[in-house]
A and B are shown apart, each in its own frame.
Chain A
Amino acid sequence: MLEMLQMGKYGAYVWSSYGLALLIMGYVAIKPLMDKKTIVKELMMKYRREEHHLANVQQENKQEQS
């Protein structure tokens, strides 16, 4: 088993290649998934702010009328 992992004298080269591939491709795949969370969070805050603002304006209008 160990012999198989050592790949003759090339173990370090082969495993570092596969490891780097995993690292790079993993990062490229996970980054946009995390980006999505921040986008959703940002938009949520924005919508809340807008709703809040809208509610405030409506209240002010009412007060002015009365």
Chain B
Amino acid sequence: MNIWKSVMKFIYHFASPKHFYRISGKLIPWFGWLAAILLIAGSIDGLFFAPVDYQQGDSYRIIFIHVPAAWMSMFVYMVMASAGAIGMIWKIKLADVVASSSAPIGAAFTALALITGSIWGKPMWGAWWVWDARLTSELILLFLYLGFMALESAIEDPRAAARACAILAIVGVINIPIIHYSVEWWNTLHQGATVTKLDKPSIHISMLIPLLLMALGFKLYYATVVLIRARNKVLYAEQNNRWVKEIVKQSG
């Protein structure tokens, strides 16, 4: 019991706005530069060095963007729901801030996955949009993100907004597997055999490396941006505290 208490004490201390602001300030440059290096290296590797796919030609190179973006769109929603739950159960304000800072980034990833999927679909399917299982799920996920953001902006009190959004995110995260399953099921019924799916072009190690580089790059990019956004929110929310005044005066 004592250990638990001291763990919680440590967490509360760490999650205090002032502490978070200081530590995240040190982490952001590391994350940011590492993300940039990984993304550039992954793009170059994926665009020029990965071998041509024998079925899809060079068009498959879009997956190095599409697949990490689709992975992140799910991942960020899970982070939002977990952070929302943590914020609700342990009343950690920082968790609420992380949840609300994540939403626009997740929505951007989802939009990116949709757009690149559609661009990839044009040469492969001959149409900009096909009701393929992955694209459809991604579209519904975008709706969930938009709902989250709409609810957040509709409630004026930031704390009530955070808690309402946490409930919505948890309900959403429970529903995502169900939605995903039903869309997959619906898709197999209606489409029979489409052209090879976007997710598994006979993956070769030389294609896997740029994919993993990009996936890691996307994760770190998300970490960087979510920290920057969270810092902004913390700064604004704590504007009446002395440490914020000092930081503002120093930077100005």
Contact = CB atoms under 8 A, between A and B. Distances in A.
Interface in A10-26: 10-11, 13-14, 16-18, 20-21, 24-25
Contacts of A46: 239
Contacts, number: 93
Chain A binding site: helix, strand, loop or mixed by DSSP? helix
Contacts of B245: 43, 47
Bin the interface of chain A by size: 20 to 34
A39 B105 CA distance: 20
A35 to B, nearest CB: 5
Contacts of A24: 108, 111-112, 115
Contacts of A7: 57-59, 61
B93 interface: no
Contact of B58 (A10, A21, A25, A32): A10
B235 A36 contact: yes
Bin the interface of chain B by size: 35 or more
Contact of A47 (B66, B224, B248): B248
Nearest to B61: A14
B251 A20 contact: no
A40 interface: yes
A39 to B, nearest CB: 6
B225 interface: yes
A46 B249 CA distance: 11
A20 B65 CA distance: 10
Interface string A25-40: 1001100110110011
Contact of A36 (B120, B224, B228): B228
B62 interface: yes
B59 A28 contact: no
Contacts of A14: 47, 58-59, 61-62
Contact of B225 (A11, A32, A44): A32
Nearest to A36: B232
A10 B105 contact: no
B248 A40 contact: yes
A13 B252 contact: no
B134 interface: no
B224 A20 contact: no
Given A10-B57, A29-B224, A29-B225, A18 B43 contact: yes
B252 A41 contact: yes
A48 to B, nearest CB: 10
Interface of A: 4, 7-11, 13-14, 16-18, 20-21, 24-25, 28-29, 32-33, 35-36, 39-41, 43-44, 46-47
Interface of B: 43, 47-48, 52, 57-59, 61-62, 65-66, 69, 104-105, 108, 111-112, 115-116, 119-120, 122-123, 221, 224-225, 228-229, 231-232, 235-236, 239, 244-245, 248-249, 251-252
9 contacts: A7-B61, A10-B57, A10-B58, A10-B61, A25-B221, A33-B228, A35-B232, A39-B236, A40-B235
